[in-house]
Amino acid sequence: MDLIIKNGTIISPTETYQADIAVAKGKIAAIGRDFPEERATVVDARDKLVLPGALDVHTHLAMPFGGTVSADGYMSGTRAAACGGVTTVFDYPVQRKGMSILGLIEEKKSICEAEACVDYAFHCCITDLNDGGILTEMEQAVQEGITSFKCFFVYKKEGMMVDDATFARLLLRAKDVGAVINIHAENPDLIDLNIEQFKKEGKMSPWYHYLSRPEYVEAEGDKRAIHWAKNFQSPLYIVHMADKEGLEAAIDAKREGHEIYVETCPQYLEFTSEVYKREDGRNFVCSPPMKGQESQEALWKAIKSGGIDTIATDHCPFQSYEKDWGKDDFTKIPNGCAGIETMYPYMLAAANEGKLSFNKVVELCSANPARIFGCTKKGSLTVGKDADIVIYDPQKDFKITVAAMHSDYDHTIWEGKELHGYPVMTFLRGQLVYQDGKFVGKPGWGKFIKRAGR
Ligand code: URP
Ligand code: ZN
Ligand code: ZN
């Protein structure tokens, strides 16, 4: 054996039990007791929880957006991931109009080969079908392990928006090639209409970012996407769900037996739209925006009842000076916030407080994302899986500060948040990459995850 983690409490989505884990050649070789310790590194996890590494299936690393590029690149973003117990990161490369998606994936793979500190996968964002050429490329992409694609109903001026016809063709094609379509669901015309009105009235503070994209704007997008997916019998994954009405529509469709998945993010569970009234409201500007209390309560309720399948971050940080561009005009604020390092600790601290179970956190942050997106070697601590393991100390207190993070951004919306319980070690395929506040891995240790299709 190469590594033995003993005396810990293992958490799976359905069980909590005491056992030791033996790791050989990067895989979980056995779970039991009294493994021979010669030549193995032995970690005593007494009084600690032993968890599968999280998969953050929604990040935007080095993404050109809003007149700049998101502040975390592949090295710093995946380094921060490791320090927050995330052992697989999914990035969203965005197709430039007219370009090949296969070429884009190759470009991103070669960057990650050198820079990634944890394992990585890509959902490819499609912005242009290239006269149907992309529909052909999708099949090859699936064969190469890219088994999910994304569309945006918004971001016209960024060149990322797709129209309904494109969305429909992608849903149909995804079903044929064994892939799933992820959707950013908001209604672009309603947003434009609201912005036009606010501009006339001189209402340009960050609060109007929320009011230009309130609950009904997101709900329309959710319901439209669900309606099409249901009628085409195509799988659909709704990213960053933040509103109650859309969530309820998704839960209804699931109950009817449709393959609809729902993701939400810690920022929607922690903050409400009230943050946009704060002096630093611009730092919270992301799309969709945080919603009202009622939506937040619905999200928590759906987490408990199974209506939400995954938690991911939508990690897309920008520097303070970039957020400042929109101090007096919310439309100039680059959209997005940080979260890659704080997602698993935040959700685990919520479990530690009794808001949900540790088993549920493992389901939402590891088992479900691995299953939905075809990461067959990830998502649980079972024999034969990759030894992506997090040791969590439920007694360790931690205050989130930008200085304690391992990213390249200069501020975080999570500043000052106190967590009871925190990860103390992360192993990536059996290799220690994080210990007690320090990154101890290496860029290049992360590997591309070739995913299974449906
Ligand atoms: O505000 C956000 N979420 N920025 C990143 C792009 C997206 O919409 O996911
Ligand atoms: Zn989005
Ligand atoms: Zn996103």
Q: Are residues 421 and 365 in the same domain?
A: no
Q: Are residues 361 and 396 in the same domain?
A: no
pLDDT score at 100: 97
316 lines ligand 1 (CB under 6 A): yes
The CATH number of whichever domain residue 428 belongs to comes to: 2.30.40.10
Of 326, 348, 372, at which residue does a domain stop? 372
User: Tokens 């990067």 — which residue?
Assistant: 26
286 lines ligand 1 (CB under 6 A): yes
Q: Are residues 116 and 11 in the same domain?
A: no
Whether 206 is in a domain gets the answer yes
Q: Are residues 234 and 279 in the same domain?
A: yes
| Domain hosting residue 395, numbered range | 3-51+385-439
C-alpha 189/C-alpha 194 separation (Å) is 9
Q: Are residues 152 and 37 in the same domain?
A: no
pLDDT in tens, 195-220: 999 999 999 999 999 999 999 999 99
Q: What share of the chain is helix, strand, coil (3-state, %, to 5)?
A: 35, 25, 40
Mean pLDDT of 151-162: 96
Which atom of ligand 1 is the closest one to the Cα of 336?
1
Q: Give the amino acid at 415.
A: E
Q: Are residues 37 and 101 in the same domain?
A: no
Give kind and range of the element (H or E) at residue 135. helix 133-143
Mean pLDDT of 26-42: 97
With beta carbons less than 8 A apart as the criterion, state whether 408 and 76 touch. Answer: yes
User: Tokens 């971001």 — which residue?
Assistant: 155
Give kind and range of the element (H or E) at residue 142. helix 133-143
Contacts of 82 (CB under 8 A, 6+ apart): 117, 118, 406, 426, 428, 433, 434, 439, 441
Mean pLDDT of 257-277: 98
pLDDT in tens, 339-362: 999 999 999 999 999 999 999 999
**Count of CB atoms within 10 A of residue 327's CB?**
14
Whether 445 is in a domain gets the answer no
User: Tokens 């601590």 — which residue?
Assistant: 381
Q: Are residues 172 and 225 in the same domain?
A: yes
The CATH number of whichever domain residue 247 belongs to comes to: 3.20.20.140
Whether 453 is in a domain gets the answer no
With beta carbons less than 8 A apart as the criterion, state whether 388 and 89 touch. Answer: no
Task: Taking the CA atoms of 263, 269, 271 and 273 in sequence, report the sign of the dihedral they define.
Answer: positive
Whether 111 is in a domain gets the answer yes
323 lines ligand 1 (CB under 6 A): no
Whether 215 is in a domain gets the answer yes
Q: Are residues 142 and 266 in the same domain?
A: yes
DSSP 293-306: HHHHHHHHHHHHHT
Mean residue pLDDT across the chain: 98
pLDDT score at 47: 98
User: Tokens 């994302």 — which residue?
Assistant: 369
Whether 356 is in a domain gets the answer yes
pLDDT score at 83: 99
Q: Are residues 36 and 112 in the same domain?
A: no
The alpha carbon of 316 and the centre of ligand 1 are apart by a number of angstroms equal to 7
In testing the pocket of ligand 1, which one of 154, 213, 314 has its CB within 8 Å of the most ligand atoms?
A: 314
The alpha carbon of 57 and the centre of ligand 3 are apart by a number of angstroms equal to 10
Ligand nearest to the CA of 337: 1
336 lines ligand 1 (CB under 6 A): yes
DSSP 32-50: ES----TTSEEEE-TT-EE
Q: Are residues 244 and 284 in the same domain?
A: yes
Whether 432 is in a domain gets the answer yes
385 lines ligand 1 (CB under 6 A): no
Of 324, 350, 372, at which residue does a domain stop? 372
pTM (2 d.p.): 0.98
Instruction: Give the residue from 84, 81, 75, 16 showing the smallest Cα distance to 50.
Output: 16
pLDDT score at 178: 98
Q: What are 25's two structure tokens?
A: 């050649």
The alpha carbon of 17 and the centre of ligand 3 are apart by a number of angstroms equal to 35
- Nearest protein CA to atom 5 of ligand 1, as residue: 336
Mean pLDDT of 110-118: 98
Q: Are residues 131 and 238 in the same domain?
A: yes
pLDDT-derived band at 452 (thresholds 50, 70, 90) equals very high
Of 316, 350, 372, at which residue does a domain stop? 372
Which atom of ligand 1 is the closest one to the Cα of 92?
9
With beta carbons less than 8 A apart as the criterion, state whether 191 and 221 touch. Answer: no
Whether 345 is in a domain gets the answer yes
pLDDT-derived band at 2 (thresholds 50, 70, 90) equals very high
pLDDT score at 374: 98
Q: Are residues 359 and 305 in the same domain?
A: yes
Number of domains in the chain: 2
314 lines ligand 1 (CB under 6 A): yes
